A and B are shown apart, each in its own frame.
Chain A
Amino acid sequence: MAEVHVIGQIVGASEFPENDLFCKWEAHFGPAWKRLQGEVSGQTQVDCPASGEMAYFAHPIDLHFATRGLQGWPKLHFEVFHYDWAGRSSLVGYGFAHVPSQPGLHKIDCVTWRPTGSFMDEVSSKFVGGGIQLKRPDLVYELHDRRNVHSTAGGKVHLELSVILRNFDKFGVEC
């Protein structure tokens, strides 16, 4: 069996309108893949940076997969939330990134977007807080038709991941 290790960190997030952020993440993979070890989802700490525009999560990711095929290569999906002074959280970005298929160290900047509502939705979210969210979060990372979604750019989630492959060469796969 070929094995893949994905080890690294969700370093942080930047370029969002507010800096007090946290992030929820989840790993998704196809049926040919089997998770052997490691958590497939989690939620980071909330960072309220003293200065600068980057919120740091330093959240470890350590996944170990076994696979019989290349289809359904694992991907990580992120939901970034803003944590306000009253302790409420509102969604500020959805994003996803495929786990790199090349072994070695990768620094990945994952772009995010948030759904845009009608004019009234946007106005009320400015005053009351909160924002609209997707009914089906899998729209973010699956190959679905997105034509009915209107989105606005969010900031970036920064990842530092190392990929270790095992036995791929025995199956004649080049990565």
Chain B
Amino acid sequence: MAAEAGASSFMLNVCGQIESVELPHYDYIFLIYQFVHGDDWERVLGLEEGVSQLSSKSADVRGLHAFAFPVEVTFKSTNPHGWPQLVVTALGTDIWGNQVVRGYSVCHLPMQPGRVTKRVPLFAPQSSSLMSKLQGLMQSEHPLYTDPKILGQGQGRQVTRVRSLGQMTLNFSTSMKNTRALGYQLLPGENFGAAAAM
């Protein structure tokens, strides 16, 4: 299909899944994902927030949480700046039966068409002192981000202390529309300019 002449925006379509999570310390886990993106981006299709099933660790040596949780989204944009990022929160239950955050992960959606598998680290914010940590354990108040979307930006992260404690495996299949028509070169070896400049 020929690119639309005079297009002013391009589209990004990502289909994939959160395959599995390795969080050896914790058993009952479920995931919530959200997208963070710049002002030039608009989500055209797909969920704003996805909630997965509750998973128990596998009984074998892997101790794996397998989710196979679909992520399908289409964005429209006029500018690659603010490229969407997927922020995932892993939640579990503590000994008192309350929901607590076990870890966060953040990664950009792919910027090249094609299929890719990614392994992304999971980390959890830490209490700033031993006292608040003990208090948190007793009162079921673990540190968490008031808005996980802060992980999509660089500012304000310098004051956070975290503990990385697991990995998440995801795969994405990505396609774009009109990026070439707008002059963007996403992959090496594309030399379409000679035709466009004439």
Contact = CB atoms under 8 A, between A and B. Distances in A.
Nearest to A44: B157
B123 A56 contact: yes
B188 interface: yes
A102 B182 CA distance: 18
A48 B126 contact: yes
A149 B17 CA distance: 49
A42 B162 contact: no
Interface in B67-117: 79-83, 85, 105-108, 110-112, 116
B5 interface: no
B193 interface: yes
Contact of A9 (B108, B162, B188): B108
Contacts of A168: 185, 193
**What class of interface size applies to chain B in its complex with A?**
35 or more
**What class of interface size applies to chain A in its complex with B?**
35 or more
A11 B185 CA distance: 24
Nearest to B191: A169
A60 interface: yes
A165 B155 contact: no
A59 B188 contact: no
A45 B80 contact: no
Interface string B165-198: 1000000000000000011111110111110110
A169 B196 contact: yes
A167 interface: yes
B163 A42 contact: no
Interface stretch (B50-58, B133-141, B146-154): B146-154
B157 A42 contact: yes
Contacts of B85: 60
A46 B126 CA distance: 10
A62 B81 contact: yes
Contacts of A44: 154, 157-158
Contacts, number: 135
A12 B122 CA distance: 12
A104 B112 contact: yes
Contacts of B165: 49-51
A33 to B, nearest CB: 15
A58 B150 CA distance: 12
B158 A42 contact: yes
A142 B191 CA distance: 32
Contacts of B157: 42-45, 59
A68 interface: no
Contacts of B188: 102-104, 175
B121 to A, nearest CB: 4
B140 to A, nearest CB: 21
A60 B154 contact: yes
Given A50-B165, A105-B111, A164 B196 contact: no
Interface string A157-173: 00000101111111000
A47 interface: yes
Interface of B: 25, 38, 79-83, 85, 105-108, 110-112, 116, 120-121, 123, 126, 151-155, 157-158, 160-165, 182-188, 190-194, 196-197
Given A62-B81, A165-B185, 10 more contacts: A5-B80, A7-B111, A9-B107, A37-B81, A56-B121, A58-B123, A60-B106, A103-B190, A162-B108, A167-B193
9 contacts: A42-B154, A42-B158, A45-B158, A48-B163, A49-B163, A56-B164, A60-B154, A169-B185, A169-B196
